[in-house]
Amino acid sequence: MARASSTRQVGDARGVAVYATPEGRALTAKIVPMALTCEDVALAGFDDREARLLKRMLVRVFDNMDALDEARAGLKRDAG
What average pLDDT does this structure show over 57-67?
Answer: 93
pLDDT surpasses 80 at 1: no
User: Which DSSP category does 44 fall into?
Assistant: T
pLDDT at 31: 97
pLDDT surpasses 80 at 13: no
* pTM of model > 0.85: no
pLDDT surpasses 80 at 77: no
Co-location of 67 and 33 in the same domain: no
pLDDT tier at 80 (50, 70, 90 boundaries)? Answer: low
Q: Which domain holds residue 55?
A: 46-80
Question: What is the C-alpha separation between 58 and 64, in angstroms, rounded?
Answer: 10
The residue among 57 and 3 whose pLDDT is bigger is 57
Residues 6+ apart with CB under 8 A from 16: 6, 7, 8, 9
The residue length of the chain stands at 80
Co-location of 51 and 38 in the same domain: no
**Rounded CA Rg of the chain:** 20
Co-location of 13 and 37 in the same domain: yes
Co-location of 30 and 67 in the same domain: no
Q: Domain total for the chain?
A: 2
